[in-house]
Amino acid sequence: MASFKIIALMVCTALLVLAVSCGGDTPSQDSPTKAPASSSSAQAKPAPTSAPAKVEKAQTVRVMNGTWSNELWTPRDGVGENAAYGRQLHAYWISGDENVKMQPAVLTDWKVSADGLSWDLTIRDDVKFHNGEEFTVDDALFTLDFDFGAEAIEKSISPSLIAEAEDTESYEITGPNTLRITHKSPKAYFPFFMSELSFGIAGVVLPEDYLNEVGQDGYNSAPIGAGPFRLLEHKIAEHMKFERYEDYFNADRIPSFSNLEMYLVPEVSTRVAALRADQTDIIEANLTVGDQIVDGGGRLVWASESSYMWMILPNCDLDVFCNKKEVRQALDYAIDKNLIVDELYGGGAATAKGWVYVTPSALGYTPDLDPWPYDVAKAQSLLAAAGYPDGKGAPKFNIYTWNAGDLPYLPEQAQLIADMWKKNLGLEVDVVVGEAATTREKWYAGELAGHVLLRSNEARWDGGSITNALYGQWEGRAHIGGKREDTKAAAHEAMAVVDPSLRQAAFEKTFKFLFDEHYEFGSGYVNLPWGVGPRIKSWNPWPVVPYQTAMWTVELN
């Protein structure tokens, strides 16, 4: 084990040479706190060539992000990173709060039928799009059709949205301001999936007339939303500039500042330098640069349980190495998670707790889902039971990964894990570092069968939609559950429980079963630090929700 510690420390030493500190990630007065669990109510772009000029306008807040993914604006084009800017432009069906509890937004009410199949939705009558047109029940029906109609199954790039569309039976207008959507199987998590607390922009509402006029491509070029900001300018791979929308329907959440400028700056060192030079107000930081931010006059604001470390073993229904449970479990027991968390990340900003998207504040969490201990003897015994003693007869395989803005050191973590598997199990493993979108597409296309994918992903309180996409829909692009009737049934069993008082126990049961099958596992979760400059008096981002949230809570000095 000592050799692995040396490797980890060498990683930090090398990064120090590049002026990236390894010791600045200890939370201060803005450190994360655990959010109470609550039930529900009702392509790669080049970096900018230069940093923006020094902030001069008192009412302009500037934010720098590390990634925006595809920079598109419709739910069909949605991936998790779209939330960073999508939350600024769009209005959601349902909002949330700092306690991870859903709140009315475009919907004033949502009620489920006794059989759990249908949801009755009531919309408010004072929502306006940025072109001044009112949001109507026809826009609401159009949005449901855009997201969950037959065309969405063919054209969406979101596995979770596709899974929802495939399981949608019908949607209809039932009154002047009411609609009903009916699923083929119960979907207790549906309101959360459509809320601002979920990942990405699956829950945003769309303008029927405008989108029909300009088409999906035209909309992505010049989007109109109903959120707190309207888009003034978008230069691909560089910046987005927004203006506060004075007719935003939620008066309590109208930002106190008039303009928001967002910049895409992939390199964290460049973002830190800009913050120290007063060229920006808020930056997406990571677990390595805290000292640099504080030493430059800024501070850290933490979004707790923001992302998790996710190891996926796809296509295990095929005749590949991972099709035996003993192999999958052996791989996990042979990883020293505490070494990765403590030595590679350190400072308490990463924690070896929870099982992938089931972090400690999530629905269905139990300590029984925490990562398994480092047990080489057990790992070796399991691998031998699978027919590969000391790795003999096992095929050579790869760990695919990428550099993630929210979780540094993924390639280094992958190399540590590969070295552990070589030493402890005698396996031949290589690490392949690629680009996020391309690697995801390889996964969705089934090209990673027999290999391993290590990535970060967005945390969430209700994991129903991702459980459905991974286990409940065999033909889904992200399916990893072995195409087994029992794993599929377990997923659907949890989703069928609509009584809020019973959902914790239902998800706990399902997650324990899926955890034991081990098609996915991880090293723990991270709390995402944001660096803020001296102009920001306060900001209260939500826990267990990825990317920047609650921008209306920003107060300026």
pLDDT in tens, 144-184: 999 999 999 999 988 889 989 999 999 999 999 999 999 99
Q: Say whether pLDDT at 29 is over 80.
A: no
Write down the pTM of the prediction.
Answer: 0.78
Give the per-residue pLDDT at 8.
Answer: 39
* Average pLDDT over every residue of 423-448: 95
- Report the C-alpha dihedral over residues 510, 503, 358, 267, rounded to 10 degrees: 130
User: Is pLDDT at 406 greater than 80 in this prediction?
Assistant: no
Which is more confidently placed, 495 or 277?
A: 277
Spatial distance between the Cα atoms of 308 and 20, rounded to a whole number of angstroms: 22
Share of the chain above pLDDT 90, in %: 73
Give yes or no for residue 400 having a pLDDT over 70.
Answer: yes
- Rg of the chain over Cα atoms, rounded to whole angstroms, equals 23
163 or 383, which is more confident: 383
pLDDT at 320: 93
Give me the amino acid identity at 380: Q
At the topology level of CATH, where does 2-14+304-527 sit? Dipeptide-binding Protein; domain 3 (3.10.105)
Q: What is the pLDDT of residue 2?
A: 38
- In this prediction, residue 410 carries a pLDDT of 93
Type and span of the H or E element at 417: helix 410-425
pLDDT digits (tens, 9 = 90+) for 63-110: 999 888 899 999 998 888 899 999 999 999 999 999 989 999 999 999
pLDDT tens profile 216-253: 999 999 999 999 999 999 999 999 999 999 999 999 99
Find, among 89, 396, 477, the residue nearest to 260 by Cα.
89
Query: Kind of pairing, strands 107-112 and 94-95?
Result: unpaired
Contact 361, 34 (CB under 8 A): yes
Q: Are 223 and 240 in contact (CB under 8 A)?
A: no
Q: What is the pLDDT of residue 388?
A: 97
Lowest mean pLDDT among 10-14, 156-160, 475-479: 10-14
Give the CB-side neighbour count of residue 388, counting CA atoms within 13 A.
26
127 or 38: whose pLDDT is higher?
127
- Look at residue 12 and tell me whether its pLDDT is greater than 50: no
- pLDDT for position 489: 95
Res. 515: pLDDT tops 90 = yes
| Backbone angle region of 200, left / alpha / beta, with phi > 0 → left and psi within -120 to 50 → alpha | left
For residue 464, pLDDT beyond 80 = yes
* Res 543 pLDDT > 60: yes
pLDDT at 28 over 90: no
Q: What's the token pair of residue 306?
A: 């923001």
Contact 429, 398 (CB under 8 A): yes
Reply yes or no on whether the pLDDT at 525 is more than 90.
yes
Q: Is the pLDDT of residue 32 over 70?
A: no
Pick 10 or 281 by higher pLDDT.
281
Question: Angle, nearest 10°, between helix axes 485-495 and 500-517?
Answer: 160
Does an H or E element contain 454, and which?
strand 452-458
What pLDDT was estimated at residue 348? 64
H or E element in which residue 60 lies: strand 60-65
Q: For 320-336, how does the pLDDT look when each residue is reduced to its tens digit (9 = 90+)?
A: 999 999 999 999 999 99
Q: Is the pLDDT of residue 504 over 60?
A: yes
Mean of the per-residue pLDDT values of the chain: 88
Q: Is the pLDDT of residue 354 over 90?
A: yes
Query: Hey, what are 358's tokens?
Result: 């089931």
Instruction: Compute the Cα dihedral for 459, 460, 462, 464 and give only its sign.
Output: negative
If we measure between CA atoms, which residue out of 100, 78, 97, 98 comes closest to residue 89? Answer: 78
Confidence of residue 58 (pLDDT cuts 50, 70, 90): low
Q: How high is the pLDDT of residue 359?
A: 95
- Compute CA 255 distance to the chain's CA centroid, rounded to the nearest angstrom: 24
Confidence grade of residue 383 (pLDDT, cut at 50, 70, 90) = very high
Distance CA 381, CA 398 (A): 22
- Residue identified by tokens 């199949």 is 117
